[in-house]
Structure 1
């Protein structure tokens, strides 16, 4: 197993340059006040997001409508050319749907390097959508930090597309649907920009943003084979939620994700939650169903999985529909990527980074290595989930620059251990 430590002088040069560019970009690109930006309603109240015409004969990735939109921080406007596109994509159940992506063009002309950047918006409410927060409505440190990273890529000359990959119903952590939305967002970006299919494309995302990044890499060979993908970087991945559940159960900082995942699975799979939720579980599900992750992750310290259910259940994984849905979202089960991968995770305790299970990511890397995928596995020891974000962004910036420059793919598969088994959990009898 290869461990990569980021300390004094160890960050890749391009990663440092990207962070510096982001700071320069956000600190000095324009003196225009935020008040100059027109007010805009949140997506739930904005008819742009709603498409009520049949989509069964519409091609995946087709643009349904588009409009210009500001790329702005709370107190800073920018001259970046930004376009929102509503486009056709596909649900977890393989039915047509639509979602929105933000297409951002750099100020520096040059050969197009198209990057699909996936923010960790981890949302149950549409006010958290990146298409909304990127217009100047980011109101938490995580969203602002990711927007600064996006600004850094723009300052470095990348063209960036940022999809609302959770879809119109905010189905958080749902794998194939997130991957489809990412790939169709790339298709829509190429259409709106008039780019040829030969345009090199890469993907990146951390934490919640790792979900579309990893799943899209799996799905691309058969869902979007025409895209000229050259690599994908994913950090802090929820590889197998059946392993994350006992890890965060009782946690101080992350137990609030338990009722939030119940909301997402109810939306995506139609699970009848009254059949198994306890009275408290039902109250918590109702309380979080329109929130962003910063509002619920640490709100219920000490909450356990067992508290969410009523007898005869002792865990959400005792519920047949929930266990089957978890199995449907195990990474590595939808296909084999054909592009180089960076898979990264922190490790701050014997299990993981506080929310992600380190050996799950190592196990996924091992699976892909065994299938012949060129994988770089990075483990950031003594870094929890939040701290590992910076280490990942620095390494991802260099990884992506190497892919776009045509450098031969690297791999450390020879030193990647077996990791955890990623086998499905048993589904109880109904």
Structure 2
């Protein structure tokens, strides 16, 4: 079901009847960002990426050049992945930043622009592009591909001078999850990118462990959203077999909602309300999906800064600590910071050090090694 409020010819899903190179720009247009301080020129993009299972798909995002320097895009590239905005509706960050709507994380984007960085914001797979939804919420590899392929698209954008620019990734909550998955995937998915480092806060490292902790409470809408998002990412599997008839109707409605409406509509409603069993996360098919979505499965080759609030009632601080411990055991250049703060409070409290860490990472020289060429068109 497509929400008519999202209709915009630019965001219409382009017919991909060929195998485009990951990061290839499929459509672009210059836009204004009237509510974003520190921005100069900006472009909305549709670009080619890959699903978690390597199928070609279009994704959308926005590239914002800072109001610094003589030419657009001469500085480093920051890939900023926002926290969860919703499953559908007109809530894609690239739409909010270019319109009169409010982008909740504008402050963090502005901080990066003030540093002279070009900021690229992916919407995430299946959010923004009309007809692809719902958003593949919590699908780690899909999010990583959307991030890394947007970096490729920025380097190819003719209006900027970014073809050899170093890049970094930053995100919080679901955005933090996307950031570390990008770091883990980059060595083999996008080895030609000059990725210098990652900052990630309140990482949703293990959705399977998180679901029973918050199911039935104030955040229950996110659990239903995760079911829908991962169901979209794993659509080739029979993941819908656990749903009741009421469950199918709930999903039909929920997949059109932004985050605020999703949380308000399904507050305090346990997932079992929509499923054939009281613990759907323990269904064998869903155990496979959730086990496949744990983070720290691979080893980043770049520095990683992790941070978390000790009073986080949504994403337990133990999740962040476990990722830190796992990375450290593998020899990753990883740092950790805890803040005596809530989930939302730590996003702000940790932003200053996150930017300082990213600045340090971007100033480092890359290893003296020949980078691999980007992958060519995929044949099937």
Deviates more, 1:175-184 or 1:125-134: 125-134
1:388 matched residue in structure 2:
346
Q: Which residue of 2 aligns with 1:317?
A: 281
SS, match of residue 182 in structure 1: helix
* Structure number, greater radius of gyration: 1
Match of 1:191 among 156, 159, 165: 156
CA distance in 2, matches of 1:200, 1:359: 32
Q: How many pairs were matched up?
A: 352
- Verify the 8 A CA contact 1:122 1:172 in the aligned structure 2: no
Task: Write the mapping of 1:175-214 to structure 2, written as runs, cut at 5 A.
Answer: 175-192=140-157, 193=159, 195=161, 198-214=164-180
**How far apart are the structure 2 equivalents of 1:244 and 1:175?**
15
Output aligned runs, 1:90-169, within 5 Å. 90-109=50-69, 112-139=75-102, 143-144=103-104, 146-167=105-126, 168=129, 169=133
Change (3 A) 1:78 1:198: closer
Partner of 1:301: 267
Match of 1:28 in 2: none
> Is 238-247 or 285-294 further displaced after alignment?
285-294
Question: What's the counterpart of residue 11 of structure 1?
Answer: none
**Segments of 4+ moved more than 6 angstroms:** 76-79
Deviation at 1:185, TM superposition (A): 0.2
Please list the CA deviations of residues 368-425 of structure 1 after superposition, one character each: whole Å capped at 9, or x if unmatched. Answer: 11111011112223x22111110121221111122223399xxxxxxxxxxxxxxxxx
> Corresponding residue for 2:315?
356
Q: More displaced, 117-126 or 227-236?
A: 117-126
Contact 1:308 1:316 in 2 (8 A): no
Q: Deviations over 1:312-347 (max 9, x none)?
A: x221223222221111211112x2101110111112
SS at match of 2:79: strand
Deviation at 1:59, TM superposition (A): 1.2
Query: Which residue, 89, 95, 107 being the options, matches 2:49?
Result: 89
Question: Secondary structure of the equivalent of 1:112?
Answer: coil
CA change 1:275–1:225 in 2 (3 A) is: closer
TM-score, with length taken from structure 2: 0.86
Structure 2 residue aligned with 1:217: 183
Tell whether 2:16 aligns with 1:67.
no
CA deviation digits over 1:36-76, x for unaligned, max 9?
A: xxxxx9654434442103232x2111111211111122xx8
Query: Structure 1 residues 209 and 44, CA, compared in 2 at 3 Å: closer, same or farther?
Result: farther
SS in structure 1 at match of 2:90: helix
Q: Is the aligned partner of 1:172 residue 2:137?
A: yes
For 1:86 and 1:138, the matched residues in 2 are separated by: 20
Among candidates 252, 256, 280, match of residue 221 of structure 2: 256
CA-to-partner distance for each residue in 1:188-233, whole Å, 9 max, x for gaps? 0011055465421111011121122111100001111111111100
- 8 Å Cα contact 2:38/2:110 also seen in 1: no
1:403 aligns with 2:361: yes
Match of 2:220, SS state, is coil
For residues 6-41 of structure 1, what are the alpha-carbon distances to aligned partners after superposition, in whole Å with 9 as ceiling and x for unaligned? xxxxxxxxxxxxxxxxxxxxxxxxxxxxxxxxxxx9
Q: Indicate which of 343, 349, 354 corresponds to 2:306.
A: 343
Secondary structure in structure 2 of the residue aligned to 1:354: coil
**Which SS does the other structure have where 1:256 is aligned?**
helix
Partners of 2:284 and 2:141 in 1: CA distance: 20
Contact map agreement 1:43 1:132 (CA 8 A) in 2 = no
Contact 2:179 2:199 in 1 (8 A): yes
CA RMSD of aligned residues (A): 2.4
The partner residue of 1:331 within 275, 280, 295 is: 295
Question: Which residue matches 1:371?
Answer: 330
Aligned equivalents of 2:275 and 2:32: distance in 1?
A: 44
Structure 2 contact 76–117 (Cα < 8 Å) conserved: yes
Q: CA deviation at 1:302?
A: 2.6
Q: Distance in 2 between matches of 1:51 and 1:126?
A: 19
